[in-house]
Amino acid sequence: MKKKTTYAKDQERSITVNADPIELEKEKPRRKPKRKEDVRVTKADAIVGVALGFAGTRYRYGGTTRKGMDCSGLVYVSLLENNISFPRVSYQMANEGERIKLNQVQKGDLLFFKTSKRSKRINHVGLVVEVDGKDIKFIHSTTSRGVIVSSIKEGYWNGAFVKATHIL
């Protein structure tokens, strides 16, 4: 679109010039740089969201789909959907990240358990979905009920708990 500008020195004589409008660069509003903690919370929400999408999926050893899923498959897929590559099995997952105390756990952290009397190594993993005071809720896949959300306060899980890690 052309703009007409008229210049006049006196009333009798005027000059008209066709000109293109000058586009002024609008100064973009400056955003505060994202803090590491803000990015972590957003990523944790995304990972937990993927995991919760599998709620109700039946248990299948080695499974990673809606047809069936095991505990480490749930964590593996939830992380992979968010472009985080991670080991596939729980005892190897337990070697990743930063070990933390239970009272430092946040949404998106991992909880590790030993549920077998025969084996001394970690064989179960859960993803923290909510921390409410001393109650920690985590999503995992159980052989009896499939993908569910449980509480660390439940006697069985509290007794089987081994460690927690930050992975984000």
Q: Which residues pair with 69 in a beta bridge?
A: 59, 64
Tell me 167's DSSP state: -
Active site residues: 71, 124, 140
CATH 3.40.50.200 fits 36-166, yes or no: no
Q: How far is CA 66 from the centre of its chain?
A: 19
Distance CA 168, CA 165 (A): 9
Question: What would the pLDDT profile of 39-48 be if each residue is shown by its tens digit?
Answer: 777 899 999 9
135 neighbors 118 (Cβ within 8 angstroms): no
Q: List the chain residues with pLDDT less than 50.
A: 1-3, 22-28
Q: At 103, is the secondary structure helix, strand, or coil?
A: helix
Quote the pLDDT of residue 47: 97
pLDDT score, position 32: 55
Q: What does the pLDDT read at residue 118? A: 86
Q: Going by C-beta distance under 8 Å and a sequence separation of 6 or more, which residues neighbour residue 60?
A: 67, 68, 69, 70
